[in-house]
Amino acid sequence: MAFGGLVCGLIALVLSASVRGRFAKQLFLHRLIDGFSVFPGIALFLWLAPMGDPSRSLESFQLLGLFMLTYTGTRIIAHKWTKVRSANREQTLPFKHWLELVRTDPPTAHGFLKAYLADRGDRGDRALMDLRVVYGDLERRRSEERYILVALDQLRAEIARRQDHAISN
C-alpha cells in the first residue's frame, strides 16, 4: 500500500504539471486528478476489506491510512521540490538576459548587471545568493566559449566583492 501511495502521488504530480488553461479549468482538473489518483488505493482497500470478518477491519483501515499517508507525503514533498526549482529558475531569468548581452554587447551587459545588483542589493544577501546560483549554473555548463569564461570571471569578482563587503560590515 505504501508503494501504491508513492506511485499514485508521483503520477498525480506529473499529470497536474501538464494541466494548462484558465484558472477555473486548472482548479477543476487538479481536483479531478487528485480524485483519480487516490482511486487505486481506495479500490485496493475495498478489495482487501473483509466483508464479514470484523476482526480484520482495523487492519484494513491501517492499510488505507498507510496509502493515504504515503500519497499525501509524496504530494507535499514533490510540491516543495517544484517550488524550489521554480524559484531557482526565476532567480536565473535576469541573468540569462545578461549572459546574452555579455555575448553581444559587453558594456551594456556590465551596466545591466550593476543596475540589477543595485536593485537586489537593497534586499540584503539576496543578490549574493542570486550570484552564487547563476555562477553554479554557468559552471555546470563547462563551456569553453569566451563569453561564458568572461561571464564567470565577472561573477567571481562580484561574488568576492560582495563577500568582502559583508565581512567588513
Question: Would you state the pLDDT for residue 14?
Answer: 81
Mean pLDDT of 57-73: 80
Question: Would you state the pLDDT for residue 88?
Answer: 63
Mean pLDDT of 121-136: 74
Whether residue 133 is predicted with pLDDT greater than 60 in this model: the reply is yes
Q: Where are the alpha helices (DSSP H) in 18-125?
A: 23-48, 57-104, 106-121
pTM for this one?
A: 0.48
Mean pLDDT of 101-124: 78
Q: Which residues contact 148 (CB under 8 A, 6 or more apart)?
A: 99, 138, 141
pLDDT tens digits along 134-163: 888 888 877 778 888 888 888 888 888 888
DSSP tag of 56: G
| Average pLDDT of the chain, as a whole number | 79
Q: Which of 80, 106, 95, 169 is nearest to 132 (CA)?
A: 95
What band does 121 get if pLDDT is binned at 50, 70 and 90? low
| Cα angle 56-58-59, degrees, rounded to a multiple of 5 | 65
- How far CA 10 is from CA of 6, 34, 134, in Å, comes to 6, 11, 29
Question: Would you state the pLDDT for residue 54?
Answer: 58
Question: Would you state the pLDDT for residue 91?
Answer: 63
Question: Would you state the pLDDT for residue 103?
Answer: 84
Q: Is-contact 71 9, C-beta < 8 A?
A: yes
Q: Which residues contact 115 (CB under 8 A, 6 or more apart)?
A: none
